[in-house]
């Protein structure tokens, strides 16, 4: 077995059965059997430290929308990694997905504001899974993960 050269980090808050299914699908998609050169790791935002971000070649962020903003978990992640990563991770390719009961816009704005500050590079449109939970969200998450890993492997970003 060969060692993957590129690290894809998934930092996702998954507090419910549905969001856990979404995260599992992103992970499964990113670990597509045709993608050999990307090692994928998923962590809770609470467990993610600046060193994890510094070691990553690309990041997928995942969160629920709570009270019109990203989850406190993802905000805590940003609060802790912002300054340790600011000078080191400019240009880092990232993408994010949101599970929102009915909206998602405040969360999208919040993530894009912080990542603009970090000068990360958004390489894929956000996936916003809004409203009543639908099975199709799981397929969308899987595709989202595959696209990101495939892009990283191919050197598209
Ligand atoms: C305290 C709380 C606040 C929430 N606020 C929002 C909100 O502002 N906007 C929104 O779209 N959904 C909101 N939701 C719904 C969550 O985004 C949704 O329940 C969560 O993503 C989990 O999805 P699930 O029910 O499919 O597991 C909120 C849920 C909770 C518990």
3-state DSSP of 25-62:
HHHHHHCCCCCCCEEEEEECHHHCCHHHHHHCCEEEEE
- Ligand 1 contacts CB of residue 124 (under 6 A): no
Q: In whole angstroms, what is the distance from residue 55 CA to residue 71 CA?
A: 24
CA of 68 to the centre of ligand 1 (A): 9
Fold of 6-154: Rossmann fold (3.40.50)
CA of 6 to the centre of ligand 1 (A): 33
The first and second tokens of residue 120, run together, are: 């990360």
Is the CB of residue 97 less than 8 Å from the CB of residue 130?
Answer: no
Q: What pLDDT tens digit does each residue of the chain (157 aa) get?
A: 568 899 999 999 999 999 999 999 999 999 999 999 999 999 999 999 999 999 999 999 999 999 999 999 999 999 999 999 999 999 999 999 999 999 999 999 999 999 999 999 999 999 999 999 999 999 999 999 999 999 999 999 8
CA of 63 to the centre of ligand 1 (A): 10
What ranges do the domains of the chain cover?
Answer: 6-154
Backbone angles phi, psi at 16, to 5 degrees: -135, 170
């Amino acid at each position: 077995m060969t060692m993957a050269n590129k690290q894809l980090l998934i930092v996702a808050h998954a507090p419910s059965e549905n969001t856990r299914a979404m995260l599992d699908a992103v992970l499964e998609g990113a670990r597509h059997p045709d993608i050999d050169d990307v090692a994928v790791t998923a962590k809770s935002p609470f467990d993610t430290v600046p060193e994890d971000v510094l070691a990553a070649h690309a990041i997928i962020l995942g969160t629920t929308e709570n009270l019109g903003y990203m989850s406190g978990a993802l905000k805590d992640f940003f609060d802790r990694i912002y300054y340790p990563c600011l000078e080191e991770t400019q240009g880092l390719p990232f993408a994010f997905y949101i599970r929102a009961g009915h909206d998602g816009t405040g969360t999208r704005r919040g993530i894009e504001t912080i990542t603009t500050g970090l000068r990360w590079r958004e390489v894929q449109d956000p996936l916003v899974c809004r409203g009543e939970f639908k099975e199709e969200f799981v397929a969308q998450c899987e595709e989202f993960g595959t696209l990101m890993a495939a892009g990283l492997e191919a050197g598209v970003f």
